[in-house]
Structure 1
Amino acid sequence: MIIELSARQLEIMSLVKQNAPITGEQLAELLGVSRPTLRSDLSLLVMLGLLDAKPKVGYFLGNAYRQDNAALQNLKTMLVRHVQGLPVNIADTLSVHDAVVNLFIENADTLLVVNEQKRFVGIVTPKDLLKVTLGNPNAAGIPVSMVMTRYPNTVTVTPDDPVTEAVRKMITHQVDCLPVVIDGQDGQGPEAVGSVTKTNVIHLLKDLVRTAE
């Protein structure tokens, strides 16, 4: 029987791995939920042997998780370049209307914005577009450069960063997509060469963090 963990359970496992021993209250705070919300998740993970718990100490990795497992060992050395996907780039002069169209056509949750030199300058999310369009009939013609989150205020990774670092950044900053950038050779700014989404990482972890009997 294969038991697949939920997205939140995978996040719990990642946080425990990085911070053990860690209390339920600390986990709830990092995940932005209440302690009772996590109770069933923690109980399941303990039951499966993926987590152990000690009163007044906290949670730490269980025996089932610590067993020698080639896939888990591979995760420790896996780099962002191994899991990144193609970026969905749009020009900073593109209108908000066309950005929305691109979101649907590309089935993307984040658009990477580039300037005329094709250098990465920011990101646009559905939330960004929703904020500017609600109650504003003229918003469709506004360029995305006016609503995007500008680099370097965006959270990014490089192709040579560990996948575990990408997971940590997604959880810490509560973002669904990380642009993968490299330094431009001519000093004109970074280039966006890919993206890592939470969906990509969850599918990866789901294959690695599971138990069978």
Structure 2
Amino acid sequence: MLELSTRQLEIVDLVRKRAPITGEQIAEALGVTRPSIRSDLGLLAMLGYIDAKPKVGYFPAAASGDAGSSGQDAVLRMRVKEVMGVPVVLRETATVGDAVVSLFLENVGSLIVVDASGSLTGIVSRKDLLKVAVGNAHADAVVLGMVMTRFPNIVTVAPEDTILDAMRKMITHEVDGLPVVQAHPHGGTPVAEVVGRITKTTILKLIYEAALSREVP
């Protein structure tokens, strides 16, 4: 079974004893700040140890503790390289107009920006494109290098990282997907070569399928 941290076990215990309990109340009981336990709460909810209702708080999930089954544990221990998808990339010289077309054609929330060698240089999201487009009649011609979030100010994951590692990063940094990169020598300097992408949707689908496999027909 997946081993929870001491703080995560304390959170589960608090929820069982004091449900419904808000995130602020949990943080106060633990003597920490609410943001510092955001990733713990998100992980416990995703694993099925706790559940939450808007304006009510956290409470034990119907099958609390059972979610640590071998099927879901196996999913969480899988390597990112086993499930990652093909990265949707554009060159930093591409334009905002190019990016908008790619977002709709590929049905993604963000695009990975690379240089000529395929190394990560940035990420551009729908929000980035919206910001530059509002009130700008010439937005289509703006190059992505002017609007993207630049590497290394980007959260990434490596092919050998586990699904749990990727999940934790997504929850902590509140993002829906991560570029999968690996160090690659280029001109004597290691760069982040983009080899894939992984999203919350991919992870949730894996966990859902693992849960379905345990159901009795």
TM-score by length of 1: 0.75
Superposition deviation, residue 107 in structure 1:
1.3
State the SS of the aligned residue for 1:184: strand
CA 1:163/1:36 → structure 2, altered by over 3 Å: closer, same or farther?
A: closer
Percent of counterpart pairs with the same letter? 36
Q: Do the aligned residues in 2 keep the contact of 1:95 with 1:142 (CA within 8 Å)?
A: yes
Superposition deviation, residue 145 in structure 1:
0.7
State the SS of the aligned residue for 2:178: strand
Inter-partner Cα distance in structure 2 for 1:205 and 1:97 = 36
Matched AA of 1:80? V
CA 1:92/1:85 → structure 2, altered by over 3 Å: closer, same or farther?
A: same
CA 1:158/1:91 → structure 2, altered by over 3 Å: closer, same or farther?
A: same
| Paired residues, number | 181
CA 1:166/1:128 → structure 2, altered by over 3 Å: closer, same or farther?
A: same
Inter-partner Cα distance in structure 2 for 1:188 and 1:94 = 24
Matched AA of 2:192? P
Among candidates 55, 60, 63, match of residue 49 of structure 1: 63
The answer for the alignment partner of 1:116 in structure 2 is 116
The answer for the alignment partner of 1:137 in structure 2 is 137
CA 1:115/1:81 → structure 2, altered by over 3 Å: closer, same or farther?
A: same
Superposition deviation, residue 20 in structure 1:
2.3
Structure 1 residue runs of 5 or longer lacking an equivalent are: 1-13, 51-61
Among candidates 189, 192, 195, match of residue 193 of structure 1: 195
The answer for the alignment partner of 2:178 in structure 1 is 178
TM-score by length of 2: 0.73
The answer for the alignment partner of 1:72 in structure 2 is 72
Q: CA RMSD for the aligned pairs? A: 2.8
Moved more, 156-165 or 16-25: 16-25
Inter-partner Cα distance in structure 2 for 1:163 and 1:202 = 11
The answer for the alignment partner of 2:209 in structure 1 is 207
Q: Do the aligned residues in 1 keep the contact of 2:72 with 2:207 (CA within 8 Å)?
A: no
Superposition deviation, residue 36 in structure 1:
5.8
Q: Do the aligned residues in 2 keep the contact of 1:119 with 1:188 (CA within 8 Å)?
A: no
2:106 pairs with 1:106: yes
State the SS of the aligned residue for 1:127: helix
Q: Do the aligned residues in 1 keep the contact of 2:78 with 2:162 (CA within 8 Å)?
A: yes
Inter-partner Cα distance in structure 1 for 2:127 and 2:199 = 16
